[in-house]
Structure 1
Amino acid sequence: MDNEISNVKHDGRSPKEKYVHSVFESIAGKYDMMNDILSFRRHKAWRKFTMNRMNMRQGDTAIDLCCGTCDWTISMAKASGTGEIVGLDFSEGMLEVGRGKVAKEGLQDHIRLVQGNAMSLPFADNQFDYATIGFGLRNVPDYMQVLREMKRVVKPGGMVVCLELSKPTWQPFKFLYYFYFEKLLPLLGKMFAKRYEQYKWLPESLKLFPGREELAEAFRQTGLQEVQAFSLTGGIAALHIGIKENLDV
């Protein structure tokens, strides 16, 4: 298949959508470098753990929401081998970086990139074996709507997967984490990416986002079954997995 970027209209977006879009457009070129710096490269280990839990098979299909610069999209394409992998993001700047990485890996015919809205996916029901979202669910206007859309587009028996920053609960690590996340992280963004306000947004985006157990309950409320929640690196991040009911079983 051809690597495809479809157009999307941004009219009618909420103030949060507009602001988040501007943040990611402005940091796209430094996004990968800053991920390594700010997470001490732990995001790679978190994604490896997630891929092991997903246990993709040859020919499996997937849609990766808020795919950013496509690291997870590429990992799934390599694991699937022959199945269609779609990466969707609302930021053309992030997709442009991802497009270059996809080409470097020689996966242009295996990965399709789409500019679109995670809350209204332009895909049919029951289309993919997996629907994933990495470090993007806390940035959407309505995370329950995104979870409903993810459930809608996966096949019966398919898997909905969310890898996201979370909230440590035990002291003194909790105090140290929040000090780093709220005070030092924006300064590192200013130092390395010449962006302060944009990286100040990251801790702000986590404040109103549910913790690990609350997000697991949100998965259940969406109707997903066999929900699993994994705490990663002392609760800095969390992996959530849910299965769409298979009516044939």
Structure 2
Amino acid sequence: MTQSPKNTDVQALFNKIAPEYDKMNNIISLGTHKLWRQKVMAKMSFPVGAQIIDLATGTADWALALAEKSNETSHVTGLDFSEEMLAVGQKKVDVSDYSDKITLIQGDAMALPFDDASFDIVTIGFGLRNLPDPVMGLKEMYRVLKPGGQLVILETSQPDNPIVKPFWQFYFGTVMPVFGKVFAKGKYQEYKYLDETTEQFMDYMTLGKQLLKIGFATVKISRFNLGAAAVHYAVK
């Protein structure tokens, strides 16, 4: 059983919300999560024949986008610990134009089943904060990257503008769990938990410093929606 720092069985939680996950993502982010990914990938470089892994791939949205963006000889592996999320993702992959470029597997982002220096690109979108030990996960990402490889982390963040922050806290702390209750078959507590992980996760500067401490050569940071999300580009 994979426990979060709040002693929550995260695997069971994501298995439970999997059927409504895509719909809720669109509702909660007002559709901006797709735009964020597009902006992130516009700044990434994709070598020919790249080996790419998307961690916490969930229902495979980013894996599919990476397959579309990379050249035809590249391959995308999507890894997630929730079998129900992967089942939803596999259906999307099977009907896509990239079924031969994408492999979805169940696994633990803190103990990746791959050799050192296996991948050119590692991505993780809105999943790092749900790892019981995010630092251990970051070390694993560093390990499986090739020298010169790219790590891209897209994650919710905390606005530091004193005018914006109260509205952000109200939306994520009050409105989002209610959306879970209304639109996701009564799953108020599950979406309340996801809000709490956002509030308690390390801020974007702390994450950047942690990446440098682990050994990444360079780290660049961009923020979206007045700080509601941040992307970290790191090179090994």
Pairwise CA distance, 1:108: 2.3
Pair 1:163-2:157 in alignment: no
Identity of aligned residues (%): 43
Match of 1:78 among 64, 68, 71: 68
Pair 1:182-2:194 in alignment: no
Which region of structure 1 is more displaced relative to structure 2, 204-213 or 137-146? 204-213
Pairwise CA distance, 1:158: 0.1
Match of 2:24 among 34, 57, 81: 34
* Matched residue, 1:94: 85
Per-residue Cα deviation, 1:54-101 (whole angstroms, up to 9, x for no partner): 122432111110000001101111122221210000000000000011
* Matched residue, 2:135: 144
Within a 5 Å distance, the mapping from 1:43-62 to structure 2 comes to 43-62=33-52
Structure 2 residue runs of 5 or longer lacking an equivalent are none
Within 1, Cα distance between the matches of 2:231 and 2:4? 28
Question: 1:231 touches 1:237 (CA, 8 Å); kept in 2?
Answer: yes
Within 1, Cα distance between the matches of 2:208 and 2:192? 27
Aligned positions, number = 233
Within 1, Cα distance between the matches of 2:152 and 2:79? 15
**One-letter amino acid of the structure 2 residue matched with residue 200 of structure 1:** K
Within 1, Cα distance between the matches of 2:233 and 2:135? 15
Structure 1 residue runs of 5 or longer lacking an equivalent are 1-9, 245-249
Question: 2:4 touches 2:132 (CA, 8 Å); kept in 1?
Answer: no
Within 2, Cα distance between the matches of 1:160 and 1:130? 6
Question: 1:57 touches 1:79 (CA, 8 Å); kept in 2?
Answer: no
Within 1, Cα distance between the matches of 2:97 and 2:87? 15
Q: TM-score, normalised by structure 1?
A: 0.90
Change (3 A) 1:235 1:144: same
Pair 1:127-2:128 in alignment: no
Within 1, Cα distance between the matches of 2:35 and 2:127? 18
Pair 1:69-2:59 in alignment: yes
Within 1, Cα distance between the matches of 2:66 and 2:81? 20
Pairwise CA distance, 1:206: 1.7
Pairwise CA distance, 1:207: 2.6
SS in structure 2 of the partner of residue 123 of structure 1: coil
Within 2, Cα distance between the matches of 1:59 and 1:135? 26
SS in structure 2 of the partner of residue 54 of structure 1: coil
Within 1, Cα distance between the matches of 2:47 and 2:141? 20
Match of 1:224 among 216, 222, 225: 216
Pair 1:172-2:163 in alignment: yes
Question: 2:220 touches 2:232 (CA, 8 Å); kept in 1?
Answer: yes
Question: Which runs of structure 1 show a deviation greater than 6 angstroms over 4 or more consecutive aligned residues?
Answer: none
SS in structure 1 of the partner of residue 159 of structure 2: coil
Question: 2:4 touches 2:131 (CA, 8 Å); kept in 1?
Answer: no
Pairwise CA distance, 1:227: 0.4
Pairwise CA distance, 1:14: 3.6
